A and B are shown apart, each in its own frame.
Chain A
């Protein structure tokens, strides 16, 4: 990985890179939300002091190299199979912290079956779901989460429901399942949202120790490159188009008793 030269005055440091995130240059496009999501996930790992007990599962998609950035043990999974891989790990090491990190193509298309059944079994893992409404890595094809009328390389005239079906609200669907312990939708388009998303990831990891079911954190994110927009423009588009269809907030939260009688 590339060495990074740092130019800063130590006196002025107000926020440091979490030790659980490696000091390497990321391959993500300028303005992409994956980098932010990586960072807050690893900040959560660090703050909980669980780096040595954490095993991550990386997806197929733009974040296929997540293990180049996250300083924890990780396994690369086949497209869509991350939650099955996580199940295999967690069943053998019930006291470790296991998370998957997956895009919408990974989790909500090819991996729908594995996702639904993992949550339905209530596997005690954290599933981090990055919804950018498109297949990033393969060059901007339609995802199950692609919005109606949204143009992609395989919906060149915009997604039309009679031909391509509806955008899939997989998170709402999963929230119905009894195995889900905590289900929430967050975003990384503004600093305030980033802070809330981080809090959700902290909870999602921490509550694994209670062994009461699956924690599922959707993070609505952007894809400036494949949306054909500048980063700032893409965050605006996200807010105006994605958030009305994918509203932010908790869909299932554990009760006080559930949290207290850990």
Chain B
């Protein structure tokens, strides 16, 4: 068993990053994730000698990440919604140059400056692009402080395996809440050596390494895009992750991720007591999306509810998977308001009575 601690989600994430052998972190303060930078400036360098730098902006942070990732370092940044918007330019370049790195969005309410309270309003931005061009991020959605920590190392492993940026998408509540967390052992930073494609200085035995997303000839650019798409198909096949609870005998399914999934679970339990057989599908990867699991359930249930802290974003993916076989509803609160299980129970009872 690893070391047990009671920690905030943001701190568990930062501690996990140190233990996963992070080489560098570049970031800029924004609520509700500033504890990540604060924790790292306090703890990280002294323990492993890694680089921690407060940049002048999110635009600079993400480009520092690009430079460090291109040079083969294990690198991370974190921010919250408006900051992630600023990073979109860099994220597109990182995806285009196929650089592994870890991004963290502790989502707050928007649009605009919005609120510092929890939200899931950045689903579209995270899974459908955000920056320019045809690219994908691997998006992991933790639902517990434990997963906030676990997905750090797993995220870097996925990033390295596919040379693709990985995004941990959580909301302000998961960043701020305290829970018990079991921490992994410290990984030796030296165990992670620079890959052969990295710009570490051209030695005599190899050609120069170039990190770029520029392919000016359209034929070449198309080839690069086709290769990227082929990589994305491979990721879809191998890395789709989902948690299914009580789905086998279910008449009705709640689909929810992150904080909403915790509410969804309570709702499911209360409705089962009330005699409605409800199941829960929790996407763990938001991209690749677990269409399969939703589609399988659509064969035997009467309806779905997509429960999200937004105006209805993931519900589009649920509908894609269900493909008209049964009704798919959406329920969400916005602006940082978290729905109570009771109000969702009422929504589902009303919906269920009409099915």
Taken together as a complex, chains A and B put the C-alpha atoms of A54 and B214 apart, in Å, by: 21
Let me know if A113 and B212 touch, CB within 8 A: no
Taken together as a complex, chains A and B put the C-alpha atoms of A91 and B68 apart, in Å, by: 8
The residues in A between 45 and 62 inclusive whose CB is less than 8 angstroms from any CB of B are 51-55, 57-58
The residues in B between 225 and 278 inclusive whose CB is less than 8 angstroms from any CB of A are none
Q: Taking the complex as formed, is B70 at the interface, i.e. its CB lies under 8 A from any CB of chain A?
A: yes
Q: Taking the complex as formed, is B204 at the interface, i.e. its CB lies under 8 A from any CB of chain A?
A: yes
Tell me which residues across on chain A come within 8 A of B210, comparing CB atoms: 67, 73-76
Given known A89-B71, A93-B200, contact A71–B208 (CB-CB < 8 A)? yes
Tell me which residues across on chain A come within 8 A of B199, comparing CB atoms: 55, 73-75, 89
Most chain B CB within 10 A, of A53, A90, A91, is at A91
Given known A55-B199, A75-B67, A96-B200, contact A81–B53 (CB-CB < 8 A)? no
Given known A64-B214, A76-B212, contact A92–B51 (CB-CB < 8 A)? yes
Taken together as a complex, chains A and B put the C-alpha atoms of A91 and B69 apart, in Å, by: 12
Taken together as a complex, chains A and B put the C-alpha atoms of A95 and B216 apart, in Å, by: 33
Let me know if B71 and A88 touch, CB within 8 A: yes
Tell me which residues across on chain B come within 8 A of A84, comparing CB atoms: 55, 59-61, 63-64, 66-67
Let me know if B202 and A52 touch, CB within 8 A: yes
Q: Taking the complex as formed, is B90 at the interface, i.e. its CB lies under 8 A from any CB of chain A?
A: yes
Q: Taking the complex as formed, is A26 at the interface, i.e. its CB lies under 8 A from any CB of chain B?
A: no
Let me know if B24 and A91 touch, CB within 8 A: yes
Given known A77-B66, A78-B90, A88-B24, contact A53–B201 (CB-CB < 8 A)? yes
Let me know if B55 and A89 touch, CB within 8 A: no
Tell me which residues across on chain A come within 8 A of B214, comparing CB atoms: 64-65, 76
Taken together as a complex, chains A and B put the C-alpha atoms of A22 and B258 apart, in Å, by: 52
Q: Taking the complex as formed, is B304 at the interface, i.e. its CB lies under 8 A from any CB of chain A?
A: no
Taken together as a complex, chains A and B put the C-alpha atoms of A96 and B214 apart, in Å, by: 25
Let me know if B71 and A113 touch, CB within 8 A: no
Give the size category of B's interface with A: 35 or more
The residues in B between 22 and 44 inclusive whose CB is less than 8 angstroms from any CB of A are 23-24, 26
Tell me which residues across on chain B come within 8 A of A76, comparing CB atoms: 97, 210-214
Taken together as a complex, chains A and B put the C-alpha atoms of A55 and B199 apart, in Å, by: 7
Tell me which residues across on chain A come within 8 A of B71, comparing CB atoms: 55, 75, 88-89, 92-93
Taken together as a complex, chains A and B put the C-alpha atoms of A113 and B56 apart, in Å, by: 8
Let me know if B201 and A67 touch, CB within 8 A: no
Q: Taking the complex as formed, is B193 at the interface, i.e. its CB lies under 8 A from any CB of chain A?
A: no
Q: Pick the contact of B211 from A54, A72, A74, A78 — CB < 8 Å?
A: A74
Q: Taking the complex as formed, is B57 at the interface, i.e. its CB lies under 8 A from any CB of chain A?
A: yes
Taken together as a complex, chains A and B put the C-alpha atoms of A53 and B71 apart, in Å, by: 12
Tell me which residues across on chain A come within 8 A of B67, comparing CB atoms: 57, 75, 77, 84-90, 92
> Which residue of chain A lies nearest to B213 when distances are taken between CB atoms in the complex?
A76
Given known A71-B208, A86-B67, A93-B71, contact A55–B201 (CB-CB < 8 A)? yes
Q: Taking the complex as formed, is A117 at the interface, i.e. its CB lies under 8 A from any CB of chain B?
A: yes
Q: Taking the complex as formed, is A239 at the interface, i.e. its CB lies under 8 A from any CB of chain B?
A: no
Q: Taking the complex as formed, is B46 at the interface, i.e. its CB lies under 8 A from any CB of chain A?
A: no
> Which residue of chain A lies nearest to B51 when distances are taken between CB atoms in the complex?
A91
Taken together as a complex, chains A and B put the C-alpha atoms of A109 and B65 apart, in Å, by: 22
Interface size on A, residues (CB 8 A): 33
Let me know if A75 and B208 touch, CB within 8 A: no
Least CB distance from B114 to A in Å reads: 23
Taken together as a complex, chains A and B put the C-alpha atoms of A53 and B201 apart, in Å, by: 5
Q: Pick the contact of A73 from B65, B93, B201, B213 — CB < 8 Å?
A: B201
Tell me which residues across on chain A come within 8 A of B97, comparing CB atoms: 75-76
Tell me which residues across on chain A come within 8 A of B24, comparing CB atoms: 88, 91-92
Least CB distance from A155 to B in Å reads: 27
Given known A84-B60, A88-B24, contact A73–B200 (CB-CB < 8 A)? yes
Q: Taking the complex as formed, is B284 at the interface, i.e. its CB lies under 8 A from any CB of chain A?
A: no
Taken together as a complex, chains A and B put the C-alpha atoms of A257 and B108 apart, in Å, by: 52
Taken together as a complex, chains A and B put the C-alpha atoms of A96 and B213 apart, in Å, by: 24
> Which residue of chain B lies nearest to A98 when distances are taken between CB atoms in the complex?
B67
Let me know if A88 and B66 touch, CB within 8 A: yes
> Which residue of chain A lies nearest to B94 when distances are taken between CB atoms in the complex?
A78
Least CB distance from A23 to B in Å reads: 14
Tell me which residues across on chain A come within 8 A of B55, comparing CB atoms: 84, 87, 117
Q: Taking the complex as formed, is B353 at the interface, i.e. its CB lies under 8 A from any CB of chain A?
A: no
Q: Taking the complex as formed, is B295 at the interface, i.e. its CB lies under 8 A from any CB of chain A?
A: no
Let me know if B202 and A117 touch, CB within 8 A: no
The residues in B between 78 and 92 inclusive whose CB is less than 8 angstroms from any CB of A are 89-90
Least CB distance from A26 to B in Å reads: 15
Let me know if B65 and A78 touch, CB within 8 A: no
Q: Taking the complex as formed, is B139 at the interface, i.e. its CB lies under 8 A from any CB of chain A?
A: no
Least CB distance from B173 to A in Å reads: 31
Let me know if B208 and A73 touch, CB within 8 A: yes
Least CB distance from A131 to B in Å reads: 22
Tell me which residues across on chain B come within 8 A of A55, comparing CB atoms: 71, 199-201
Taken together as a complex, chains A and B put the C-alpha atoms of A84 and B63 apart, in Å, by: 6
Taken together as a complex, chains A and B put the C-alpha atoms of A75 and B70 apart, in Å, by: 7
**Minimum-distance CB pairs A-B, first 9:** A88-B67, A84-B63, A88-B64, A73-B199, A85-B67, A76-B212, A88-B68, A81-B63, A117-B56
26 contacts between A and B (CB under 8 A): A51-B202, A53-B201, A54-B202, A64-B214, A65-B214, A72-B202, A73-B210, A74-B208, A75-B211, A76-B210, A76-B212, A77-B63, A78-B63, A78-B89, A78-B93, A86-B67, A88-B64, A88-B67, A88-B71, A88-B75, A91-B64, A92-B23, A92-B71, A93-B201, A113-B59, A114-B63
